[in-house]
C-alpha cells in the first residue's frame, strides 16, 4: 500500500505517508524473514547465518540509494516531476 501511494502521487505529503506505511510493513516483515532464513540452520550455525543475513541486509541498504540515484539520473531524475506539479497554474476559482 505504501509503495502504491508513493508511485501514484507527486505530493510530498502523500509520498511521506506512503513511506511511513512502507517502513511499518518492512519492520513487520524483517523478523519473519530472518526466522525463515535461519530456520533450517543448526544451532551451531545460526550465529553465522544471522550475521551473514544482517550483513547482506545492511549492504543492500547502503547500495540501494546509490543504485537508485544512478538509475534516476540516467532516466532524467525526479526534479522534472516535482517541478511540473509545482508549476501548474492554479485552477480558476469557481
50-75 pLDDT per residue, tens: 999 999 999 999 999 999 889 988 88
Pairwise pLDDT comparison (80 vs 16), residue with the higher score: 16
Torsion sign across C-alpha atoms 87, 88, 89, 91: negative
Burial category of 36 from C-beta neighbours within 10 Å (exposed 0-12, middle 13-18, buried 19 and up): exposed
Q: What is the pTM of this model?
A: 0.57
| Chain centre to alpha carbon of residue 84 | 24
User: Can you read off the three cell numbers belonging to residue 24?
Assistant: 511499518
End-to-end alpha carbon distance in the chain: 34
Amino acid at each position: 500500500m505504501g509503495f502504491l501511494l508513493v508511485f501514484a502521487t507527486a505530493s510530498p505529503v502523500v509520498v511521506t505517508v506512503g513511506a511511513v506505511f512502507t517502513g511499518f510493513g518492512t519492520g513487520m516483515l524483517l523478523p519473519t524473514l530472518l526466522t525463515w532464513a535461519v530456520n533450517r540452520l543448526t544451532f551451531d550455525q545460526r550465529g553465522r547465518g544471522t550475521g551473514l543475513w544482517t550483513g547482506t541486509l545492511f549492504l543492500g541498504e547502503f547500495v540501494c540509494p546509490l543504485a537508485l540515484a544512478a538509475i534516476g539520473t540516467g532516466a532524467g531524475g525526479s526534479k522534472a516531476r516535482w517541478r511540473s506539479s509545482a508549476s501548474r497554474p492554479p485552477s480558476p476559482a469557481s
